Amino acid sequence: MKIAEARVTTGRTDLLLRPQGRQPEAEIVRGVREEEWAAHSSGRPLYAGVSCLLVPMECLTGAAYTRKAEALGLTGEREPLMGRVACRYQDWRIGVASQWAQRWVDRNFSLKSLEKILDGLPRHAVRQVALITSLGSGSASVQRRLRVTSGCL
């Protein structure tokens, strides 16, 4: 998903529902697939309910949550140089969702983070890569920008 599309999606105000009280789960699941249920929306943009906490959590050596994961048999190989322990989630679906969320964060924020801390030619080179990945290399505007700034690459 391109950044502009992500902004549109996360800015939608019809996706977060108001609390539904004692509505049966099956009714809510059925309802969210129907247009009329937009009336149940909270009016808040989706990004208000999106958290970067969806990305994988690192189990740090000695942390209380790592000890709990160990007690549940969820830990794996230790990485002493990094001070962490490999861990899996009790519900495998959370692990899958968090891995894809991390990929999305890496793709959409890593270049931007580098661009903020670099100066000069390295910053311009990262900016060109960011333009290509966000707009697609076939875009006429990107090709024009690359021609104009090709000395920076």
User: How far apart are alpha carbons 111 and 116 in whole angstroms?
Assistant: 9
Please write the tens of the pLDDT for every residue from 42-87. 888 877 766 565 667 788 999 888 999 999 999 999 998 889 999 9
Average pLDDT, the chain: 75
CB 46 within 8 A of CB 9: yes
User: How far apart are alpha carbons 9 and 47 in whole angstroms?
Assistant: 9
User: How far apart are alpha carbons 78 and 84 in whole angstroms?
Assistant: 6
**What's residue 135's pLDDT?**
56
pLDDT above 70 coverage of the chain, percent: 72
Instruction: List, as one string, the DSSP characters of the chain.
Output: --HHHHHHHHH-SSSSBPP-TT--HHHHHHHTTSGGGGGGB-S--GGGG--GGGSPPPEETT-HHHHHHHHTT-EEEEETTTTEEEE--SSHHHHHHHHHHHHHHHHHHHHHHHHHH--HHHHHHHHHHHHHHHH-TT-HHHHHHHHHHGGG-
**What's residue 78's pLDDT?**
93
Q: Say whether pLDDT at 115 is over 60.
A: yes
Locate 47 and state its tokens.
């990004």
CB 150 within 8 A of CB 121: no
Please write the tens of the pLDDT for every residue from 14-54. 777 788 788 887 887 777 777 777 677 888 887 776 656 56
Structural domain boundaries of the chain?
Answer: 1-50, 52-107, 118-153
**What's residue 1's pLDDT?**
47
Q: Say whether pLDDT at 110 is over 60.
A: yes
CB proximity list for 136: less than 8 A, separation 6 or greater: 142
**What's residue 44's pLDDT?**
85
Local confidence band at 96 (pLDDT 50, 70, 90 cut-offs): confident
Please write the tens of the pLDDT for every residue from 129-148. 777 766 554 445 544 444 44
Q: Which of 7-11, 74-78, 90-94 has the highest mean pLDDT?
A: 74-78
